[in-house]
Chain A
């Protein structure tokens, strides 16, 4: 019968070699005209002739999943199970690139891990173009090394699930394979040397400029900003921060700071109003309420001073204020969160809004999970 595996064939991965191709695809191949006409009674030699006539590779295409001739020949090879040296010959031949790919594909399906890496990796150097038939029937351009990379890294190609092989690192660690030596290694070494030489030359030229930039290097500014922001989130001490920053940026950035202060003050005023409204509706102890009032009074006083822009008075007041605030910190921890973050606040609000847009924060756990899956697939969240 035409579709039975050669009785002398060995079983691959514990089963009939033809079972490497799953049932639906297998039946599609058996019903295919190309299989029935051209692949009947093929032997290893006549198979080579048929392989030389190939002009594209691919899986199934079209609405009813028609297999390509490439698929049919792969199936035929699984059926007759040629010897390993014949397959290696297919791979080694240089003239016919589709014969090479056919051999490589068959070896990936049936060969051992070591064989797969040993015979397929040299094919990385082959840059020839290939024609690939996509699932909608159109052709696409690909290259030999791209196909080999797919075979070695992915686990699904041409509509066939590729058997799992061990990773290269595992094989190297047990010693069956040597570490991979890329053909481009020499080129990489040359490039590295070139880069090093360039760096050395560059350092000699721009020393002065570098020093200047080191003084105000972006990294240090970033650290400063980060430290400043982290304190804001704790929502105490921003006055102390302000002083620290003030001292540091005395030379250059005072203008910037002043502007930022102004913004901060504006934000704080807004917050104060908001907080006042909010606080009115909250159940509080007398202690906290008293403390809040004191804090607000102090803030007003602080702003007045800032408006004066008197450095000395501000500093001394800040010191006393921070001391008194230390005392109050223990009490404040129980009071509601107060945010006077200035420019950070709108940013944080935006982040919160974005998360909610994603829908993964929905109270119903089923919908939240569904939205998470949809986000992972790249779909928009559910419209409720």
Chain B
């Protein structure tokens, strides 16, 4: 289990507990449940890399405590 921090720099900062083999799509669903936006509207980035929905966190080498950027479509 790991905990990632997503920040949209406009006031929304959320900590999400998830598994390493969850996909980014699952992570977006969890973020949507916590923030209230729709899951399809969320975009997770790291600098200019937009994370794709079907790849797992482990494959993206996202570790515990890592910060991701939260954007909206």
Residues on A lying within 8 angstroms of B by beta carbon are: 24, 60, 63, 65, 135, 156, 159, 366-367, 370, 373-374, 377, 379-380, 382-384
Contact = CB atoms under 8 A, between A and B. Distances in A.
Contact of B1 (A135, A377, A382): A382
Task: List the 6 closest pairs (A to B, CB-CB), nearest first.
Answer: A382-B1, A65-B73, A370-B17, A377-B29, A383-B19, A384-B1
A377 B34 CA distance: 12
B72 interface: yes
Chain B's interface size range is 10 to 19
Given A367-B17, A373-B33, A60 B1 contact: no
B55 interface: no
A379 B38 contact: no
A30 to B, nearest CB: 16
Contact of B73 (A24, A156, A370, A377): A24
B50 interface: yes
A103 to B, nearest CB: 26
Nearest to A161: B38
B72 A24 contact: yes
Contacts of B29: 377, 379
Given A24-B73, A63-B50, A156-B38, A377 B19 contact: no
A121 B41 CA distance: 30
B14 interface: no
A60 B73 contact: yes
Nearest to A370: B17
Contacts, number: 32
A120 to B, nearest CB: 24
Interface in B4-55: 17-20, 22, 26, 29-30, 33, 38, 40-41, 50
Given A63-B50, A382-B18, A373 B30 contact: yes
A163 B29 CA distance: 23
A135 B43 CA distance: 14
21 contacts: A24-B41, A63-B50, A135-B40, A156-B38, A159-B40, A366-B17, A367-B17, A373-B33, A377-B26, A377-B29, A377-B30, A379-B22, A379-B26, A379-B29, A380-B19, A382-B1, A382-B17, A382-B18, A382-B19, A383-B1, A383-B19
Secondary structure at the B interface, as helix, strand, loop or mixed, is mixed
Contacts of A370: 17
B58 to A, nearest CB: 12
Nearest to B18: A382
B33 A377 contact: yes
Contacts of A383: 1, 19-20
Nearest to A366: B17
Contacts of B33: 373, 377
Contacts of B22: 379
A155 B21 CA distance: 32
A366 B29 CA distance: 18
A367 B17 CA distance: 8
Nearest to A25: B73
B30 to A, nearest CB: 7
A117 to B, nearest CB: 26
B59 to A, nearest CB: 16
A341 to B, nearest CB: 36
Contacts of A63: 50
Contacts of B18: 382
Contacts of B73: 24, 60, 65
Nearest to A136: B53
Nearest to A369: B17
Given A377-B26, A379-B22, A379-B26, 17 more contacts: A24-B72, A63-B50, A135-B40, A159-B40, A366-B17, A370-B17, A373-B30, A377-B29, A377-B33, A379-B30, A380-B19, A382-B1, A382-B17, A382-B18, A383-B1, A383-B19, A384-B1
Contacts of B30: 373-374, 377, 379
